[in-house]
Structure 1
């Protein structure tokens, strides 16, 4: 207790002396830090400083390891910011035994108590590791006694032998950043190139040769320091329908370009041009050579499955893709190369995306088809920058087949997807097509438009207290795939889905064609619902809650593209049987909209005792620019308003 009192005493006087200035040193805090209030009133927390430093230290058994030291201080402003006390560091483990490690973890929490600052020290025993998968582990820790108003700080050092890809540095976060700084201390044996994303200019950017000689294998060398600083960086606000936050953050990314070998005086280039990058992949044991092995092995596979070679190029492609989908299981790991030998893959019948899709390409080539690997970046990994071949941008591979009349893009990891359809993780602008003598950019998107059709039939009980409703949904393409993945053809999950759409007493749930990707996926259900009665009138929503209910676009303007990923047509057909002795108070106005953004068609009519509502809409593109934002926002406003239509039935006067 005495120690804590003395600590607070000296801290208090240290703070008074620096009341107006934010500190950027770990363990040194000012009243300005403790009292900081962000100009951004939406901010749940603010990063007071975030400083990263990469240096190269000689490893115990020779060579070098990169040491990435990070120091971060955050002021918690709202309850939502308390989660910042949970820190995670992702560590990579290769299948050759090399691994990343975290060292020197330190953390502190600063709170105000009775008008005086107190420090809560962090117990290093609270650090633990959590295995993510075969290749990744998370180092995790939580800072204690964090509340609104707390200032938290932590620092750690990530030691990595994988110096070909240095840690990327994001100057921007989902909360505001007062000071972000990154230092790179380069030794003369490694040459790096960097790409700055969404950064018009740095607050400061400097480079200098550091004083003092270092020695490696009897040779002296000096470090070169590159310093990048950005101040007062605004928060990145998530907007609906974007690709990945990685595509929009202000960040800097590094790629090893060349290694100098002092012992021989020679050098080795890692990547220079896209052409060389493609050639290196084709020569690679786990890429091009692996495809060649599969092509050779395909003869025995086709002997056992001769039907795979029957038909047109399109038919053969479809059969071979289905064969791989149905016989090999994806382990949910990404990769553009193989993680197993061909023998191991054939025996286990499972593997990463690289194992499965390179195997697919080899079979397609063995069948005499013009099939090639198309490498890309998954959506979560961020878009590819075409300026320079950064190897780590590519973490996935699919099959590209030229069938003369067009192209077919195939990913055999996902059996529930239809032919020539890619999972959402692959739809990320473009990929690099790797041929034997050339490679080129190819746009990556799904060619097949999806649809979601909902048919509703409503009748009333004799006393009008309830209505009986039957629903039929017909889905295809990516829409069907999303329903299959989310609800898994489970009666319980589908009942919950229909309940959220406003149905009660749900029964007789039926589905059809769950595993048949060449046919629409059907959902059907029946329900009995309480009727809304008001002053003798019967009120009903003919579409229930199936259509979109709120406008996802609320801001006055938008900075980023609107990415729907795929085009989808939506239609709602509702037939309401008017009970005897009642009439329709008023039918809603019909609507026809056809502009560059959307097509809407809304018709209503009464045929005998049945009222028919027919509503359909279709956004004409999968992606819209910020210039289109107001038109897209207006289109959604129309949809939300019109699809919430009510039908009012009133008694017929005698």
Structure 2
């Protein structure tokens, strides 16, 4: 976020020399004790451990750069395994916007190894720092510590200088343990911040207010009637709010299945700018509510202003409306046109980098340029379509109203209590069938009338898959037959994303490996490019892995290779909510002929289960008639997010599903 940096001080300026205020934190000298791991249980199962993470953040001022934010960082890491060698490389992201950018300075570092009972030090050479251009808004500085190996301790310190009034989040929790964390944040009184906590941990800062005197130089004229430029020095006095955070023995962040963005739960402290007051009584407030955020975004020339002149789309709109009158058909045709005309360049963003008329002409653009073009086209078609702001899964779940909370925009039509959503950045999308990155809690529909309405992104999503097997088993336990699969909604989108353009032999190979089949004969795919239609896949198979023949009996699982093999929830406890992205249904139906001369000795009992609060359901049924088995399984999760408080029930639910689908049918020779 780039904010305006020029202002007038209401302070006393005097001609004084200037000097530095902060002192860089220095690490203690290493001893043999720092290399010990035997008694340190936090290190035993980790590839590395942060011995120290230290950061100080403060504001500085100069006449040329005005207010800047300084971060001074010092870190020390003990490398404990081969995998931990990755932590000998440091990557520092640096934001840039137009001519303004963050810079990196004063890099120091060393690697320490214990050799014959003595600590050997290898100094870091600043010349081996490499800067990479990641994209239009990010650079990355990268360096690797010399002579690092298993058992080494590496340390570094550096300073970043930022012209952007964004205090970087304090990220206490890492993917490896942190023995000692310390941060000092110093903010001038004229900046108002809201401080929030992410993650389930306790921390209370040591807070204080101190006076600070900050010197700077500025250019001035020599006096009335002269043009001489001279350099003057001045000093500003103000109150500074100081917060110190300290925490010991922070555990590593542990991954759990079905978590879309683990950073949503990482121990962090967030500073969000809420106001500035650079002269007495002249307070500028930044967005406080989501409605204010949404309205502020809409007013931007790089957002709402783009929808004011859509004349360049009149001809395209006329071609659509002259042929179709139904709203849903018009939505589909407009979406199809923009997808064919424009290609997503891979860049996210709620704001355009170029006018949508130019992006449309060029045939490419970022998320905003493509989807605002779609909205403009639909408005030219006479539909009351509005932007819907979204925070993607990679952007996380915003905890508070902020301009940075949204990083994506799609198109939405709200009518008669129903929402229709569209995203033209995804080639295989359709109305209400969006790419997975978009499904992240809720969005917010905004309009030029100042309306900001919360939208359930999953309100009309469908993710269904159906598997039909018609097969026979012989007296050697070999199963042959045909499989018909049907993928609906987001399941069809996922299929197209993975298999579009893939050679038939590779699809066969993938199916054989995934299902554990010896042979797949022929494969047909229907509706592969009809994005609003379900995908249908048909193939024939042979498998000798599905049954065990023991004496005069044959044992096999009712659903054959379609069974749920294991419970994904193995841990006894869970910290984080379960995120399925979309509610979904997985239905499996098997019709199986048994070999002549055999009878059914035993079959599993039917089962019908539901999760608390109608969160999910499981139905399982086996029936036999005239030598043919009919097996049905239907597994559904009805909510995209399940709170960790339901974990015990969910884990038991999966456990019983796995047991039932793996329970054996027994055939006996007559």
Partner of 1:247: 264
* Distance in 2 of aligned mates of 1:580 and 1:617: 32
Residue of structure 2 aligned with 1:97, choices 96, 99, 102: 99
Match of 2:382 among 352, 358, 368: 368
Q: 2:509 is matched with which residue?
A: 496
Q: 1:202·1:228 contact (CA, 8 Å) conserved in 2?
A: no
1:306 lines up with 2:309 in the alignment: no
Q: Is the 8 A contact 1:484 1:514 kept in 2?
A: yes
SS at match of 2:490: helix
- State the shift of 1:279 in Å: 3.6
Equivalent residue number for residue 559 of structure 1? 575
Range with bigger deviation, 244-253 or 196-205: 196-205
Question: CA contact under 8 A between 1:376 and 1:384: conserved in structure 2?
Answer: no
- Structure with more contact order per residue of length (Cα contacts < 8 Å, sep ≥ 6): 2
Cα displacement (A) at 1:514: 1.8
Residue number in structure 2 paired with 1:156? 158
The answer on 1:421 being equivalent to 2:433 is yes
User: 1:298-332, CA deviations, whole angstroms, 9 ceiling, x for partnerless residues?
Assistant: 32322343347x32434433332333233222112
Q: Does 2:87 correspond to 1:84?
A: yes
SS in 1 for 2:386: strand
Match of 2:467 among 439, 454, 462: 454
Mapped to 2, the partners of 1:566 and 1:119 lie a distance apart of: 53
In structure 1, how many angstroms separate the alpha carbons of the residues matched to 2:258 and 2:470? Answer: 33
Q: Distance in 2 between matches of 1:536 and 1:559?
A: 49
**Equivalent residue for 2:180?**
179
Preserved CA contact (<8 Å) 1:560 1:625: yes
Deviation at 1:451, TM superposition (A): 1.2
Aligned to 1:109: 111
Q: Which residue of structure 2 aligns with residue 10 of structure 1?
A: none
Q: Which of 281-290 and 185-194 deviates more?
A: 185-194
Distance 2:571 2:493 in 1: 31
Shift in CA distance, 31/307, structure 1 to aligned 2, threshold 3 Å: farther
2:446 is matched with which residue? 434
TM-score normalised by the chain length of structure 1: 0.87
**Aligned 1:229-240 pairs, distance under 5 A:** 229-232=245-248, 233-240=250-257
SS in 2 for 1:132: strand
Q: Which residue of 527, 537, 542 maps to 1:513?
A: 527
Q: Distance in 2 between matches of 1:483 and 1:635?
A: 27
The reply to whether residue 626 of structure 1 matches residue 644 of structure 2 is yes
The answer on 1:394 being equivalent to 2:406 is yes
Partner SS, residue 83 of structure 1: helix
Give the direction of change, closer, same or farther, for the CA distance of 1:30–1:229 in structure 2 (3 Å limit).
farther
Change in 2 beyond 3 A, CA 1:649/1:622? same
Deviation for aligned residue 1:542? 4.7
Paired with 2:515 and 2:459, the residues of 1 have a C-alpha distance of 29
* 1:316 corresponding residue in structure 2: 330
Quote the Cα distance in structure 2 between the aligned partners of 1:221 and 1:380. 41
Deviation at 1:396?
1.0
Distance 1:270 1:84, change over 3 A: same
Inter-partner Cα distance in structure 2 for 1:44 and 1:226: 35
Distance 1:54 1:216 in 2: 22
Following superposition, the deviation at residue 476 of structure 1 comes to 0.8
**Is the CA contact 1:489–1:514 (under 8 Å) kept in the aligned structure 2?**
no
Unaligned runs of 5+ in 1: 1-23
1:494 is displaced (CA, Å) by: 2.3
Contact persistence 2:213–2:235 (CA under 8 A): no
Secondary structure (helix, strand or coil) at the match of 1:355 reads: helix
Aligned to 1:28: 29
Sort the Cα spacing of 1:512 and 1:145 in 2 relative to 1 into closer, same or farther, 3 A: farther
Q: Work out which of the residue numbers 136, 148, 151 in structure 2 matches 1:146.
A: 148
1:337 corresponds in structure 2 to 351
* Aligned residue in 2 for 1:469: 481
- For 2:625, the equivalent position in structure 1 comes to 607
Deviations 1:400-430 (A, max 9, x none): 2122342222222113123112322122222
TM-score computed with the length of structure 2 as normaliser? 0.85
Aligned length: 621
- Provide the rounded CA distance (Å) in 2 between the counterparts of 1:313 and 1:84: 55
Partner of 1:528: 542
Q: Retained in 2: the 8 A contact 1:246–1:381?
A: no
Alignment of 1:64-79 (within 5 A): 64-79=67-82
Indicate the SS of the match to 1:370.
coil
Q: Secondary structure of 1:420's match?
A: coil
Closer, same or farther: CA 646–495 of 1 in aligned 2, 3 Å: farther
C-alpha contact (below 8 Å) 2:31/2:119 kept by paired residues: no
Over 3 Å counting, the alpha-carbon distance change for 1:625 and 1:580 in structure 2 is same
- Report Cα offsets for 1:306-362 as digits up to 9, x if no partner: 347x32434433332333233222112111111212232122111111111122222
Find the residue that maps to 2:351 and give its secondary structure: coil
CA contact (8 A) 1:54 1:69 kept: yes
* Alignment partner of 2:424 out of 398, 403, 412: 412
Offset, 1:206 = 1.9
Equivalent residue, structure 1, for 2:273:
256
Deviation, structure 1 residue 189:
5.7
Distance 1:447 1:279 in 2: 26
Equivalents in 1 of 2:74, 2:410: separation in Å?
39
- 3-state secondary structure, aligned to 2:331: helix
Q: Which deviates the most, 451-460 or 337-346? A: 451-460
Shift of 1:219: 4.5
Task: Give how far 1:475 is off.
Answer: 0.8
| Aligned mates of 1:595, 1:225 — CA distance in 2 | 50
Aligned-pair CA distance for 1:635: 0.8
Within 2, Cα distance between the matches of 1:622 and 1:339?
Answer: 33
Give the C-alpha shift of residue 630 in structure 1.
0.9
Going from structure 1 to structure 2, the CA distance change for 1:524 and 1:230 (only over 3 Å counts) comes to: farther
- What is the aligned counterpart of 2:47 among 44, 48, 59? 44
Distance change >3 Å, CA 103–CA 284, structure 1 → 2: same
- d(CA) in 2 for partners of 1:112, 1:203: 37
Task: Quote the Cα distance in structure 1 between the aligned partners of 2:536 and 2:201.
Answer: 50
Distance 1:270 1:621 in 2: 34
Deviates more, 1:330-339 or 1:340-349: 340-349
Task: Work out whether residues 611 and 653 of structure 2, in 8 Å CA contact, stay in contact via their aligned partners in 1.
Answer: no
Distance 2:328 2:52 in 1: 57
Q: Residue 582 and residue 297 in structure 1: after superposition, are their counterparts in 2 closer, same or farther (change >3 A)?
A: same
Structure 2 regions of 5+ residues with no counterpart?
1-24, 219-233
> Does 2:393 correspond to 1:382?
no
Q: Is the 8 A contact 1:374 1:399 kept in 2?
A: yes
How far apart are the structure 1 equivalents of 2:471 and 2:386? 52
Q: Distance in 2 between matches of 1:611 and 1:522?
A: 24
| Distance in 2, Cα, partners of 1:151 & 1:592 | 56
CA 1:544 to 1:106, structure 2 compared with 1: closer, same or farther past 3 Å? farther
SS at match of 2:244: strand
> Can you list the C-alpha shifts for 1:259-290, whole angstroms capped at 9, x where unaligned?
4557x995644445545434432321101111
